[in-house]
Structures are given as C-alpha cells and as structure tokens.
Structure 1
C-alpha cells in the first residue's frame, strides 16, 4: 500500500476527513483535480453542530481568529426564527467556504499533509485488499480505502456507476458575492409583488476590511439556463426590482453563478472499499446553510471508523454504520430543503396555492415549539442516530452535552480522537481500563449521569450499567487487555 486512505476532493468535506484521519493516526493522500484552491465562496454558513465538531478538534478558536465572522439567526425558507438565537453553545456563523478551505489547507500543511493539486482521477479498481486509483498522466496510488469527496459531479461516483436517484432542476437562481450600500434599510429576505425576491447574508469582510454579502436573486428574470453568465446589469436590475430604486446600491460584483434546485442522493454511501461523502453523496438547493455542514458531518462520522478499521480494532459492521447513520440524515436534509424551495417560490410563479401555504407556515413558525424544531433540524443539533439503546435512553444517538470536568471541558477530551467515558461516581474505572487505548476515562466527572461518547462526539451509551461493557464492545471492539 502507498497509503491508508485516498481522499478525492479537497473541499471542506475532504479536508475535514483528512484531519480526522490525521487525528486517528492514519496516513492519507488528499488529491484534487484543480491546479489551485478555488477562490469562490460556494457556501457561507456554519451551523452550531459543525462548530462543535471543530471545537472538539481544537480548530474553532483558530478558525474564528482568521477573520470577522458575524453570528446570525436561523431562518427557514426566509422566515426568521428569532427565538432560536443563542439556543446552542455555538451560534450560527457566517464563515465563507473559501476561508474554511484556506484555514484547513494551512492547518494540514503544518502536519505535513499537502493537497496534491492537478490530480484528476481517471480510474478506480478495487479488490479484497485495497483500491488502486489512477490519475491523469498515468500516476497510480494504492490504498486500503478511497473516499469520494469530489463534489456534485463526482468522478468517483461516476466510476463506481453508483445510483444517484432524485429530481432534476426545475428552476435556477442567482448566487453572488457582492459589496453593497444600504443593506441596513432592508429585510434579510424580501419579496416583490411580481414574484421576484432577494436574500442577503453577511459574509464578514474582504481582505481590505470591507463588508461583503452573499446575495441570492430569484424570480422570472433570473430563471435562465445554468450556463448563462451572471452580469452586473442583471444583479443591479434584480436589486432595483426587489428593493426599489436608490435603497440598495451595488458597489461591486465579486463573482456570480447560477444554482439549481436539483435534489439527488446516492443510493449507497459505501461500495466495498470506496465511500461517498459530501456533495458526491447528496446534492440540493443551497438554502438554510446545510450542504457544506452535512458534508463535514459525513467526514466526522466516517473518519474515526476508517481509523478503527485500519488499526485493526473495528468491530464487525462498524464501517457499514456510516451509510446506516448518514444516509437518513442526508435524506432528511433533502426533504427540508425541497420544502424550503417550495415555500420560497423560486421561479416567482406566485401560485395561489404556494402563497396560501406560505402564509399558513409563517403563522405556524411563530410558535416556539415550531421554531425550536426547525432550528434543531437546520443546526444539526437535533439529528439523532438510531443507535442501540436509543429507544430507552433519550441521550443516546444525540450530540453529547459539553460537561465541566473541573480541569477541562468534556469536548476538549475528544481532541485525541479517542472515545470518552464520563463516570461521575467513578464506578467504571476497571472496565474503562480495558479500553484505555481507545477510550479516555473521566472519573468523578460533573455529569448528570454516566455516558459513553464516540470519537465523533455522539453519545452511544448512557445510564444502564449492565450494558456498558456491551456498548464498549459494540463501538470499540475487543479490549486490548483483559
């Protein structure tokens, strides 16, 4: 083998996975077909659960130190959810994808992991022992596993001939990074009577300290073929149509592209020794800041499991839990995004049915319970894996709470890439010692109840002492000592 894992695609998903494998002590090659890192900010919102994941690895604080990234309030289809502000330990933040990629590239390089640029994948063959990847020019790399994190038009998925069912695009809209004047005078989401609409999200500042925004424009005049260039005149006209003359002024169009509402999901995330993650596994309209976040969570779920398999302690079926856990999450994201697309009336049809549905939904969204439900779904904090014991214990399958352990916070003990057993009474020290090479033990922890946390930060056991050892076997394999 030339390496343990080949990651195809150096976007946020691929880079997060490379870091997870690094933490797990696994060798990885990170390859990308682009000759240089893209300067286009295709995504801009980082949800609470993703920030918690960064914090678990000690990445959040240095990432936030690289710029000015304002916190925001959740919305669903442009309907603001004000009661959700500050519900979670980390608020929704606007952090452009280009900044995240630049940060990760520097971070990985500090550990000797460099993106192999200008590496276009051309072939994949796998056998019982590994996978051979062929790149442009005939270069070949052999690894135990390959992960396709190479985007919506994934070469890995194509070479696998993987089923990618779903819906083709029925509408297009404009997404642009812009400098504007007068944004303090308008709502974040604004609709015009003729069906045109605009959405504004802060992106922090550019390299010269000037405020930037992500602008989305939809409606009849913007529903053009995807390859149609986005021009300054189109953006300026769209702003004037929605906000009226002289209210909001376009100062600079940094870049613009057309996006679609196509929705597809790979039928299988695992194909033998090859896995799909991020946009290679699921694509949808980029609304609600969920696409990049879902991909990063894919990487968080898969990384420690690949590490366990490569180090030889993975229990039977552990790698299969990647598809079992992440596919339902991806499907749930597609469903809520399709709902948002319908309520937003992307192509500006002004259908009476859509207008009536949105009016009703807007009224329902004023209820606290509805706002909290939507926020948990969008932020990723409410997604629950169907793990053993989840039917009896409300914590199992959810992100672990952050517990004060006196000398540290519980999330800080996950930075090693090990699991974590919180043991408030200290009664499980003997059994914890059997898995000490894979699970950190926090005895006398100030937790409300004992719990076992996986390396990805999800609770996999809580409460019942009679099944703790079974849970350790299930997630962390046979103990190294007995």
Structure 2
C-alpha cells in the first residue's frame, strides 16, 4: 500500500483533513492540480465554531494573530447586525483573513505532522478494488498510480473525484449572479466594513489586511440565468456607483470575479472507498461566508472516523455516520444560503417590506437573532444520538475545571476521546474503574469538578464522553455508583473496539488526571 489515504484537493478542507489523519498516524498524500496556492481568496471569513475546532488542536494562534476580529455578522444583509458577544464560546467573533493564508498555515501544519503534499499533480481516475482504491495521477513528469485504503475528494465544486466515483451532484442552476473586486481605493469609507441594500442593489466594502478593499454585491440586472462573461473594472465602477453613490476612486484591481447561486449537493458523501468533503460535497452562494467553515467542519467530522477505520478500532457503522451526520448539515447550508440570496436580491418594494418586517421581528424576538447567529457561526450543529441525555450529540463547550489551568479544548489536542469524571467520588471512582475495565489507547480520562461559572445543562452531569471532534458522545447524571458504572461500560464498549494489538496493551492505559 502506497498510502493509507489519498486526498485530492489542497484547500482548507483537504489540508485540515490531512492534519487530522496525521495526528492519528495515518499515512496521507495530498495532491492539488495548482502548482502554488491560489492567491485569489474568495473566502475571507473564519467563524467561531471553526476557530474552536482549530483551538482544540492548538492550531489557532497564528490565525488569531493575523486575522481581524469582527464581533458582528449579517444574515442576508438585513439592517440589524447579528451580535456575537453573547455566544457561548471563547471566540465571539469572526476572523477576516485571506483563504490563501489560511490554506498556507494549514498546509504548513499538515507537512509538519508528516503529510506528503504534491502540488502540480492532478487526479484523473480511479479503480476501486475489494480492499483498496487505485488513483491515477498526472504529475509534471507524467502519469502514475497510487494505491490507498481510501480516496477523499476535497477538489471543489467541479470535483473530478466525485465524477470518477459516479456520485450524483443534484440541485438548482444559478438565477442570481454576484460579483467581487479586490481593488485599491483613493477615497475609502471610514469603517472597516460598509454595507448597503436598496432597490438599486446590495453591496459590501471590506477593508483587507494588505490595505486593499474588497467590494462585493448584486444589482437588479444580475437577476438572470445567462452568463454575461468576465467581470470588468468598468462594471465594478458602475455597480458601485449605483449602490453606494460612489466608486470610492477604485483602481488597480488584482482580482475581479463573477459567481452564481447554483446550489447542489452530493447525493452521498461516501461511496465505497471514495469519500467527499467540502465544496466537492456541496455548492452554494457564498452568503455569510460559511463555505470554508463548513468544509473544515466536514473534515473534522471525517478525520477521526476515517483514522479509526484505517486502524481497525472503529465500531460498526462509524464511517457511514460521516454521511449521516454531515449530509443534513449540507442540506441546511443550501437552505439558509438560498434564503439569504432571495432576501438580498429581492429588489422590489415587496422585497424591501419583507426585509423591513424581518428586521423588526428580530428586534422584537431576540431568540430569532440568537438562532440565526448560532446557525451562521456553526455553533448550532448537533447530531442525532441514540442516547437519551439532552447533551448527547451536541457540541461540547470549552469547559473549565476547579484548580486546573487545563480546559476542555486544551485536553483535546491529541485528537482522542475525553472521558470526564465529574462524579466527585472518592478514590474508588466508578468512572475511573470503568475507564480501566474498558481501556483504550484512543481515550484520555480527566477527573475533576467543573468550575463555578458553568452552563446549567452541565450542572448535574456526573460523567461525559467527548468525541475527538468535540461533540458529546454520551453524558450521564446518575449518582448511584453501580448504575453509573453500568451505563458507562455500555457507552465505552459501543464507541471503542479494541484491535488484537491494542487488547494486549490495554492494561497499561494511563491513570486519570486528578485535580
């Protein structure tokens, strides 16, 4: 076997998947047809949930240092901005940073972890066998093949991997066109983010880190199904004047682009030994800047499951749960981006009144703003769980502990399950005993009490098992030691299957950390 996993596509989703696989010691090859990282960055936004994901692996500091923090967001460019300050996260803001820089930082991490990156190499076909998949790749020196356990397509909306696997990509064609220009301005607006909606069109002006500005928008004449050709600087000036009343003295464009609201989703995210993630799995209008984020979150969900399958300790159905959990997230993504597109492009009196009505409703019903904010930022995602506790399947917040400098995200940096012993038991802890009985090298146990300022949903929890991707696999409020131990035995046996080699060394598992 040449590699255990081959990834086609070296964008943020592909690079983060490679990081996760290498963290679990899976041999990984990434190929990308571009010789260099594309300097033109359609994505500029990293949302709070994505920052949490990076923080849970210690991969967030450089992005925090370089990105501009924006404490608000928007839904369909409504007049009422979404306030992130009340979010239950250490990172109540979005980061504005070029996708090219995000990709470069994740690529550096992947290489440091041992991934092989080959740029200028293009996937062209596959042959799936009973126990492997053969990828045909064209490189600078000709064509060659690579055998791997699995092939993952992170190669964008025109995914060659998806096509070679015969996976359908269904949805709707574009009915609205957006445009953008990265330019210099002689007379820029004073605010870092300016946005406006009127019957003449909608637009945003965003100050970029390098002193340039990005102008994006939609005009009434962009409600169309045909493709009018490449976007020009003359159009950018005309469109900007129509929306803002000025073109801000724009000049020296380094990138001009046009894009549509085509919305499609792969019918399955896995077909045999071929798996899709990121834009290869879902295409949508870039409303709210969510695309890069959902792709990285796909990779986070897939990484540990694929590693567990490759290494042989995955319980039955674990890899299939990638589609089961992430496909509905993709459906939700298409729904809310299309809804935003409809609101942004409704350049009629009726559309204006609808936008005004929704803005008033958000002010009257703060819970609507909270729901939209959590949806936009990715903090709302929860997965179905057979376990009855209300926390099961939800995202675990960054819990802190009495007398300890550690917090949950810092405990997760090795990419393993975290078993939290919150039972306040004496040395004969039923949680610790169950951990030892069901010993597994891919699980750590932490024993301690939650610090005072915690969420009410966690106040009665005596034990919880956190998945490597930061979601609650199991939680319990049982105080009877025997019943608690029994429930935990069942939970651990369902989530961790020992290989023969692991079983031999299971007795040598590490003790729980006591605080």
Same fold (TM over 0.5): yes
Gaps of 5+ in 1: none
3-state DSSP class of the match of 2:182? strand
What is the distance in 1 between the residues matched to 2:234 and 2:41?
21
Find 1:467's aligned residue among 484, 487, 494: 487
1:73 is aligned to 2:72:
yes
Deviations 1:380-432 (A, max 9, x none): 1111101222xx32221111111223131111111111110111224301111
1:150 is aligned to 2:155:
yes
Structure 1 residues 416-425 or 462-471, which shifts more?
462-471
What is the distance in 2 between the residues matched to 1:81 and 1:185?
15
Structure 1 residues 301-310 or 461-470, which shifts more?
461-470
Find 1:98's aligned residue among 78, 97, 100: 100
Correspondence for 2:513: none
Find 2:421's aligned residue among 400, 420, 423: 423
Q: 1:354 to 1:467 in 2, by over 3 A?
A: farther
**Contact between 1:9 and 1:32, CA under 8 Å: does it hold in 2?**
yes
1:456 is aligned to 2:469:
yes
3-state DSSP class of the match of 1:139? strand
What is the distance in 2 between the residues matched to 1:436 and 1:22?
19
Find 2:445's aligned residue among 429, 438, 441: 441
What is the distance in 2 between the residues matched to 1:369 and 1:220?
32
Gaps of 5+ in 2: 452-458, 478-483, 508-515
What is the distance in 2 between the residues matched to 1:463 and 1:81?
38
What is the distance in 2 between the residues matched to 1:214 and 1:395?
41
Structure 1 residue 371 displacement after superposition: 0.5
Structure 1 residue 89 displacement after superposition: 1.8
Structure 1 residue 154 displacement after superposition: 0.3
Deviations 1:261-292 (A, max 9, x none): 01010110000011011000000000112111
Deviations 1:5-37 (A, max 9, x none): 000000000000000001111110000111221
What is the distance in 2 between the residues matched to 1:414 and 1:302?
16
Q: 1:72 to 1:320 in 2, by over 3 A?
A: same
3-state DSSP class of the match of 2:213? strand
Structure 1 residue 172 displacement after superposition: 1.0
**Contact between 2:305 and 2:314, CA under 8 Å: does it hold in 1?**
yes
Could you state the TM-score of these two structures normalised by the residue count of structure 2? 0.87
Correspondence for 2:57: 57
Correspondence for 1:344: 344
Structure 1 residue 120 displacement after superposition: 1.2
Structure 1 residues 280-289 or 425-434, which shifts more?
425-434
Correspondence for 2:366: 368
**Contact between 2:23 and 2:113, CA under 8 Å: does it hold in 1?**
no
What is the distance in 2 between the residues matched to 1:435 and 1:53?
26
Correspondence for 1:173: 178
**Contact between 1:94 and 1:202, CA under 8 Å: does it hold in 2?**
no
**Contact between 1:72 and 1:94, CA under 8 Å: does it hold in 2?**
no
3-state DSSP class of the match of 1:76? coil
- Equivalent runs, 1:405-416 vs 2, <5 Å: 405=401, 406-416=404-414
Structure 1 residue 192 displacement after superposition: 3.6
What is the distance in 1 between the residues matched to 2:231 and 2:333?
28
3-state DSSP class of the match of 2:293? helix
Q: 1:379 to 1:186 in 2, by over 3 A?
A: closer
Deviations 1:93-144 (A, max 9, x none): 2122111011112222323434211211111111220100001232100000
What is the distance in 1 between the residues matched to 2:101 and 2:192?
27
3-state DSSP class of the match of 1:184? coil
Structure 1 residue 352 displacement after superposition: 4.1
Deviations 1:35-79 (A, max 9, x none): 2211111101111110000000100012223x2423231210002
**Contact between 1:74 and 1:85, CA under 8 Å: does it hold in 2?**
no
Deviations 1:316-351 (A, max 9, x none): 000000000000011011101110011001xxx633
What is the distance in 2 between the residues matched to 1:182 and 1:456?
42
CA RMSD, Structure 1 to Structure 2 (Å): 2.0
Q: Give the total of aligned pairs.
A: 469
3-state DSSP class of the match of 1:179? strand
What is the distance in 2 between the residues matched to 1:288 and 1:474?
38
What is the distance in 1 between the residues matched to 2:191 and 2:97?
23
**Contact between 1:414 and 1:455, CA under 8 Å: does it hold in 2?**
yes
Structure 1 residue 161 displacement after superposition: 1.7
Could you state the TM-score of these two structures normalised by the residue count of structure 1? 0.92
1:113 is aligned to 2:111:
no
Q: 1:306 to 1:245 in 2, by over 3 A?
A: closer
Correspondence for 1:250: 250
What is the distance in 2 between the residues matched to 1:95 and 1:477?
41
**Contact between 2:153 and 2:277, CA under 8 Å: does it hold in 1?**
yes
What is the distance in 1 between the residues matched to 2:476 and 2:41?
44
What is the distance in 2 between the residues matched to 1:288 and 1:361?
17
**Contact between 1:6 and 1:28, CA under 8 Å: does it hold in 2?**
yes
